[in-house]
Amino acid sequence: MWLKPEEVLLKNALKLWVQERSNQYFVLQRRRGYGEEGGGGLAGLLVGTLDAVLDSTSKVAPFRILHQTPDSQVYWSIACGSSREEITEHWDWLEQNVMKTLSVFDSNEDITSFVQGKIRGLIAEEGKGSFVKEEDPEKFREGLMKFERCFGLPEQEKLVTYYSCSYWKGRVPCQGWLYLSTNFLSFYSFLLGAEVKLIISWDEISKLEKTSNVILTENIHVCSRGEDHYFSMFLHISETFLLMEQLANYAVRRLFDKETFENDLVLHDPLQITKRGLESHAHSEQFSAFFRLPKEETLKEVHECFLWVPFSHYSTHGKMCISENYICFASQDGSLCSVIIPLREVTGVDKADPANRGVSISTKGKTAFRFTEVRDFEQLVGKLRMKCNAASSPQHIVNTEVALGSASESPKDFDVGPSKMGQKDNSKTVSTEALMTVYHPQDAENLDSKMLKEKMKEQSWNILFVERGHGVSMFRTKKTRDLVVRGIPEALRGELWLLFSGAVNDMASNPGYYTELVEKSLGTCTLATDEIERDLRRSLPEHPAFQSDTGISALRRVLTAYAYRNPQIGYCQAMNILTSVLLLYAKEEEAFWLLVAVCERMLPDYFNRRIIGALVDQAVFEELIRVHLPQLTDHMTDMTFFSSVSLSWFLTLFISVLPIESAVNVVDCFFYDGIKAILQLGLAVLEYNMEKLLTCKDDAEAVTVLNRFFDSVTNKDSPLPPAVQQGSNLSYTKSDHPKVDITDLIRESNERYGDIRYEDVQSLRCRNRLYVIQALEATTKQNVLRVVSQDVKFSPSDLEELYELFKREHFLSCYWNVNSPVLQHHDASLPYLDQYRIDCQQFRVLCHLLSPWSHCANRDSLALWTFRLMDESSDGLINFKQFACILDIMYNRSFTDKLKLLFKLHIPPAFTEVESLSPSKGGDLSKEELIHFSQLSVSSIEDTLESDSLKSSPEKGKGKVDIQAYLKQWQDELLKKEENIKDLPRMNQSQFIQFSKTLYNLFHGDPEEELLYRAIAVVTSLLLKMEEAVRRLQSPTSPVKSPVAVMEVPAEIPREGQDEGSSEQTEGRRGQSLRGNHEWSFAFEQILASLLNEPAFVRFFEKPHDIKAKIESAKNLQLKARTRM
């Protein structure tokens, strides 16, 4: 590797380096101790330790080339190499291309200048096609070289960055280097001859956290496969931890959670990930989540500045954040002031006060925002003007009112499809009114005390709008939150939900989208639409709006349109309850965009098949309970109680447990503060019921306490009619329970737990996501092992190790291949057995590592035929049960079972003629050849009989699932009788020849090899005689050429020392003589009976093999095997 030229004082370096070659201008040196017997003694050990600990080029490469000029003590390092071959190649290039040129220069300065320029040019040329895009390319290239040399991972493994740190082995720290790459966390240390090497896959990490103890003030704790690892003494521990957290979550999302990962195109290609890219992506995610902006927004610039707050007459300090379509501001002085300015609303950008570096931004609402103390404010003004001009072009002019108008002016008919027979949809147009205004219009003349309070609330908000602005660009301050906590007025609820959730921006950017979606989803019939139809009448059934076709039709349209928009989520229970409440206060299109905001931004991954987001937030809730309510956690023996009881709180935002008039106040706070509001309220509920919960003897009693509490929650200021209020309809028997006003409860939750910061919640979410997904994976493993253990004889521990190897091989193919077929087929909604599958190439790797027959010369062909035998669905993938059952036959079954397996491998559909395109490789097949042969279709009698059943089998994970077909398939599997050897088809002549070759290859190297070869010859001759006799009896008059020559001439038995090739030549000649005759065929019973008469055969196949040793070897070699491939 060429290096950026740096000065080296040779006088100080001679103790560490040994000169190997030199000429007038260059010196080639070797690091002392490298390549010497015994490591070069004590000097070599000391040098090795220095190389591992110090951040220097020498830690990377044991060879280097220096440029020298006569009569000078200063040398320049220009190249290094990890091997003698590499450094020799550089040396030869210098002698051939540079040496002759240097003689033309007159001065040493000119020579040095020319050499430096040439080397820099070579480095620039090399860098064009490399992945290196870090801040210090030279230093990073050195680290990359050390990473590749130490760990031997495939070239595609992308190093992101590396850090100097200590790794604790017990109580002893090992100083070394931590390497963070796309798929692995790796550590390397070399101290006084002791080498420490650690490689952990990100997808195996279940816990990643910053901790501290008595010995280590601050360290990073990593838990993988039940083992704890501690890293400390980082220069920038927060930066390191953040990057580790991002890489771990990236790997988890890519490999386990395909649904959310596929929507994230920024990090789709693992080969393009860089440290800067990860940091930028994290900041953009945090930015869009904090300001509730569309996910597509990326943070472009951040400026520290002051914003003038006109109603408070002071400037608040904070940060201005700029993306493609928004200018946002958040204060950092505790005033909780924030502003969101869409560029579509901006009318002008000007320099306000050059002395104070001011920028003034005017909006359509006639509000001017004045920012001061902005660095490079003149350039910023120019950039913002350009952005505003682009946003104000005709195709970008969008208005929320226009979007709403287009929805109402273009009504579409909506048929609910064949699955909804017998139901009439009387409301065929998209509704333009919130259901509350239709069913509960406010009577302005008859104002009771509650209505008067409601009008006072509205007046408070109107005053706020006058002071702080009205619409998307309003100032949001502590007073705004205080008004939200008191409850948003009924008349303003829909508008403010839309504003605080950010749904107003989505709707403004996509005018007419919802109406178009309703039209497209018209008449669709999927599993989602069936589930929607089933739940429509269960959504707030006590409310009059959902006792009529008007409300039911609107709910159906919104849910079906969303299922059409996002088929990966489709429809999930609890979405109907949430959408019902949204439709009460928002127009139909607004309710749709509110649902989009909740499902895709505010509650990410809540409504997918595994509700991962809800499980993550439950784990966060448990952590907060431990911190804030320790006495409760001390009393509870099992914290899972809180998870089970709180799941509905998170999925429905308390709507399913609280009366509707109280629940809407919770939704108010949720749209303003996000999940933080739900967590705070959950803690307040538990604290309020603390004394009763501490006296509970079991979970059922605790659930009863909480249910009674929720029944007692009221909203004394709700203006809703008594017929609608659920709290007012409670029976008198429950009236003795003290009433709790929802406003007081929410206010108390804010006062007690308001110090929980948004950043803390996000950090807890990241940490617990790893734990939750690994817990789900553990459940999957337990279910798979429980099913497979019934069919195999492996011990539970061996079976678990085999599963881990199988799953790891599945992931190894995903690490470096964006379009990996196994990754594309991975679907968490599939049955447990089918969630992880491997293709033929992966099976070959595992077969070579684990099969007792892997020493066979034609092992690639054997692996191919075995895979084809297992791939019953012909989709090129097999599951763990199929894999384990095949290994079980090889290791644990009887002689007959093993022979039957070999027999089936040499008849269709498993068998196919295999011939490598590269004769020099012998029996080895390339990956392309292996995939090609695995997909070849070879028909057999069984295939013909089973083709109809395969066609009728339910299609997994795609569209509508045929449940009846699944049940029938399951019943057939249960009733499937054990395969009878009489049912096996006969083996023809060419297949028998290959069968005999395989046996020869299997016996090679066995202590009884010669005896086994003789036995093959005897059995072959016997079978041919039997077939000859049968044919003569069946047709005594037909002339059949006698194979006496084959039977009577003794087989050429390989003697000791005879190579395997000669035995194959023997089989080849035998095959040629057989092909000269009529087609012969043999039944399995004939072959079995013949081989049972040969004790050497029986001993060979019944000889026990140690699967534990194979597993241990495979664990060490699996990654290396993948690298070689």
* Interval 33-85: pLDDT, tens: 776 655 555 555 665 555 555 544 444 578 889 998 777 778 888 888 878 88
Q: What's the longest Cα–Cα distance across the chain? A: 119
Q: Which residues on neighbouring strands pair with residue 232, listed in sequence order?
A: 166, 219
Asked whether 483 and 461 are in contact (CB, 8 A), the reply is yes
Residue type, 1038: S
Give ∠ CA 1008-1011-1014 in degrees, rounded to 5. Answer: 150
Q: What is the pLDDT of residue 408?
A: 35
Q: What is the pLDDT of residue 791?
A: 92
Tell me the pairing of strands 368-372 and 301-309. antiparallel
Asked whether 1073 and 1043 are in contact (CB, 8 A), the reply is yes
Segment 748-759, tens digit of pLDDT: 999 999 889 888
Q: What is the pLDDT of residue 830?
A: 75
Q: What is the pLDDT of residue 976?
A: 55
Asked whether 431 and 414 are in contact (CB, 8 A), the reply is no
- What would the two tokens of residue 775 be? 């817990």
Burial pattern 1069-1103, b for ≥16 Cβ within 10 A else e, equals: ebbeebeebeebebbbebbeebbeebebbbebbee
- What would the two tokens of residue 955 be? 């299609």
CA quadruple 923, 926, 929, 932: dihedral positive or negative?
A: positive
Task: Tell me if the bond preceding 909 is cis, omega within 30° of 0.
Answer: yes
Q: Could you say which residues of the chain have pLDDT below 50?
A: 55-59, 128-133, 394-428, 730-735, 917, 919-920, 938-961, 1040-1077
Task: Provide, rounded to the nearest whole percent, the portion of the chain with pLDDT above 70.
Answer: 77
Q: What is the pLDDT of residue 1066?
A: 46
Gyration radius (Cα) of the chain, Å: 37
Q: Which residues on neighbouring strands pair with residue 205, listed in sequence order?
A: 224
Look up the pTM and report it: 0.77
Other Cβ atoms within 10 Å of 949 Cβ, number: 12
- What would the two tokens of residue 143 be? 């680290």
Q: What is the pLDDT of residue 524?
A: 82
The Cα 701–Cα 709 span in angstroms is 13
Q: What is the pLDDT of residue 1045?
A: 41
